[in-house]
């Protein structure tokens, strides 16, 4: 088993299978009222998020693996990039509500600060 799989197994087995919120992470935009969320179990456990880019340029239909989302939400040190196997564009939308193109455009126009140290 990989280290990540061991961590997932350890979390799933906490207190005899009862999920304990360890103070993990939110998907800021996907958890908002602007996004519809559904869940499926066949063939695998998946969460499905549907909504618009903030700029209205396109509709997103993003599926996230249930075990990856569980791990992300319940592991404070987890990051979207290291946990969710979705594309960078999908992760950006789940967290901020913007597609990559709109996010980059807003950064260039100065509406959103770039990550990292500011000059």
Domain contains 33: yes
**Is residue 113 included in any domain, yes or no?**
no
Note the pTM of the prediction, 2 decimals.
Answer: 0.71
Instruction: Quote the number of domains for the chain.
Output: 1
> 119 in a domain, yes or no?
no
Asked if residue 115 is part of any domain, the answer here is no
Domain span at residue 19 reads 3-108
Quick one: pLDDT at residue 23?
A: 56
Sheet holding 59-65, edge to edge: 36-40, 46-52, 59-65
Instruction: Judge whether 21 lies within some domain.
Output: yes
Any domain includes 61: yes
**What pLDDT, in 10s, does the model give residues 18-55?**
444 445 688 889 999 999 999 999 889 999 999 999 89
């Amino acid at each position: 088993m990989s280290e990540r799989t061991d961590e997932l197994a350890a979390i799933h087995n906490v207190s005899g299978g009862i999920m304990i919120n360890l103070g993990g992470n939110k998907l800021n935009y996907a958890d908002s009222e602007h996004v519809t969320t559904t869940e499926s179990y066949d063939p695998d456990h998946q969460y499905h998020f549907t909504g618009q880019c903030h700029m209205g340029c396109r509709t997103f239909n993003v599926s996230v693996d249930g075990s990856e989302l569980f791990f992300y939400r319940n592991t404070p040190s987890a990051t979207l990039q290291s946990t969710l196997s979705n594309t960078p564009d999908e992760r950006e939308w789940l967290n901020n509500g913007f597609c990559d193109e709109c996010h980059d455009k807003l950064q260039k126009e100065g509406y959103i600060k770039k990550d990292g140290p500011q000059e």
